[in-house]
Chain A
Amino acid sequence: MNQGIYSVLSNEKIAKDVFKMTLSGDTSSITAPGQFVNIKLDGFYLRRPISICDFDNHSITLIYKVVGQGTELMSKLSVETELDTLVGLGNGFDISKSGDRPLLIGGGVGVPPMFKLCKDLIKRGAKPAVILGFNTKDEVFYEDEFKALGTDTFVTTVDGSHGTKGFVTDAFPLVGKYSYFYTCGPLPMFKAVYNNTDTEGQFSFEERMGCGFGACMGCTCKTKYGNKRICKDGPVLVKEEIIW
């Protein structure tokens, strides 16, 4: 974990209620895709935990949805705003388990952490397939970015306004065989994924957090391997340990 002042390089709307922000600063504390940052905003007591979509040696890409007053303020921050940010939080995904043909499943704002994960999997020689699930076409983002990585990317919308009509699991037949899966998204989607696969995989969970670094026990869940803090021992849990 690193605490530092990170400067806003860009902050733009990319879909309905969804914004992409890039921050400049030290990224050396990020050890795995699927980790998150925790951002202090003026006028709000607690930080905002946001998953890392992508990063390089000196910048971080975040994609976030405006869901409340904090993210609303975030969406209005101008370039060069300086943000007190904790970086490199959580365990992140374990890419060593992926096999040759991992399936990446992102739902809504669960899509962003799949992007750096996808890049890292490709770098180590895997050929990921990607399913991105949204409610409607106005909410779709990053379809082109995933396709540009050379992956087989399938988009689903609940109302059928773009891609395959239905839920992410409705695109499973299009993917065919896969070696492992990684997923991030809402709980109902997790349950659908869990019920539609025999493969092992990893789920990245969301929970209301106090600190984001393991101190307050505000985000604890029960697993088959004991109590885990989503912020520190997670957000990624492996399929076999999850109690549904």
Chain B
Amino acid sequence: MVNTKVNLSGLTLDNPVIPASGTFGFGYEFADIYDINILGSISCKGTTKGPRFGNPTPRIAECTNGLINSVGLQNPGVEKVISEELPKLAKFYHKPVIANVSGFSIDEYAYTCSKIDANEQVGLIEVNISCPNVHNGGMSFGTNPNSAFEVTKAVKNVTTKPVYIKLSPNVTDITEIAKACEAAGADGISLINTLMGMRIDLKTKKPVIANKMGGFSGPAIFPVAVRMVYQVYEAVKIPIIGMGGVSTAQDVIEIMLAGATAVQVGAANLVDPYACKNIIEALPSVMEKYNINSLSEIIGGSH
């Protein structure tokens, strides 16, 4: 009998598989099709201080082995997330969840995180400083070590739960940003968010996406994710949630070998609503195939 349990800053997850923010709503939509309690945790839809409609449509462009999205942090705002969305999820999911928070200023990040920190369903806070789809928001904090440090520090000052900072791959050296977050007291690092991308329609000769550019995700970016997790694992001592194109149980093991303690599955959920379930069910036999008794023992095993 293999052991799929991992420990993420004191939270014991039954398995490392977590649907990534923005690909799973607030989880309850998926409860119609399978028992979502099999999930290690759920990273909820990105939440901001106030409600946001997001970007104009089209927001989606297909790519070879992936897609570009430019949703733009559509969410009902932190008050409604706490009063409506999380209670709906609580009916179906009985484990701690990951709250994913975005903002447009350091004060906003701190405000939203302090509100969500007080919610008992929330086991961990993932601070997104890497959304490529909102102007002057999110990613600008994640592409500069100083502002990444300031956001992390401000959030840590007003929260009690583990804080993970979600990093952008759209930087020259992701390890510099990761080190700044660690120095500011981050409990862990999530990576990678989407890569900036663009498609142009040959018929209209215009960008496919209304906002022109968006975040590229899917299996095509998996090697980039593995590389960056590997680099960040060597640069910091805090745990990593690895993500970026993970689609199979083999991918989960590979990105854990690179250094991830837990793994998020994003784009795959949009193609196959059962993606996380299939990965979780396949994990034991894939572990056996590669002589892995306990997943927690392989974290960073490739170094």
Interchain CA distance A8-B254 in the complex, whole Å: 37
Q: How large is the interface on A (under 10, 10 to 19, 20 to 34, 35 or more residues)?
A: 20 to 34
Interface centre among B24, B59, B208 (most CB of A within 10 A): B59
Query: How would you classify the secondary structure of chain A's contact residues: helix, strand, loop or mixed?
Result: loop
List chain A residues, Cβ under 8 A from B62.
Answer: 44-46
Q: How far is the CB of A134 from chain B (nearest CB, A)?
A: 20
Interchain CA distance A213-B61 in the complex, whole Å: 17
List chain A residues, Cβ under 8 A from B53.
Answer: 220, 222, 227
**B50 close to chain A: CB less than 8 A:** no
Q: B60-90 interface mask toward A, CB cutoff 8 Å, 1 = contact, 0 = none?
A: 1111111101010010000000000000000
Cross-chain contact of B23 among A1, A215, A219, A227 (Cβ < 8 A): A215
Interface stretch (choices B2-10, B151-159, B163-171, B265-273): B265-273
With A1-B273, A215-B25 given, is the CB distance from A45 to B57 under 8 Å?
no
**A97 close to chain B: CB less than 8 A:** no
> Does the CB pair A45–B269 fall under 8 Å?
no
List chain B residues, Cβ under 8 A from A216.
Answer: 22-23, 60, 69, 71, 270
Q: A203-221 interface mask toward B, CB cutoff 8 Å, 1 = contact, 0 = none?
A: 0000111110111111111
> Does the CB pair A220–B57 fall under 8 Å?
yes
> Does the CB pair B274–A3 fall under 8 Å?
yes
> Does the CB pair B271–A227 fall under 8 Å?
no
**A232 close to chain B: CB less than 8 A:** yes
> Does the CB pair A210–B57 fall under 8 Å?
no
Q: How far is the CB of B137 from chain A (nearest CB, A)?
A: 17
List chain A residues, Cβ under 8 A from B29.
Answer: 213-215, 232
> Does the CB pair A210–B66 fall under 8 Å?
no
**B33 close to chain A: CB less than 8 A:** yes
**A40 close to chain B: CB less than 8 A:** yes
List chain B residues, Cβ under 8 A from A207.
Answer: 57-58
Q: How far is the CB of A207 from chain B (nearest CB, A)?
A: 6
Interface centre among A40, A46, A86, A214 (most CB of B within 10 A): A46
> Does the CB pair A213–B54 fall under 8 Å?
no
Interface centre among B64, B71, B219 (most CB of A within 10 A): B71
Residues of chain A touching chain B, judged by Cβ–Cβ distance below 8 Å, are 1, 3, 40, 44-47, 86, 207-211, 213-222, 227, 232
Please name the 4 residue pairs, one residue from A and one from B, whose CB atoms are nearest each other, closest first: A211-B270, A218-B60, A208-B58, A210-B60
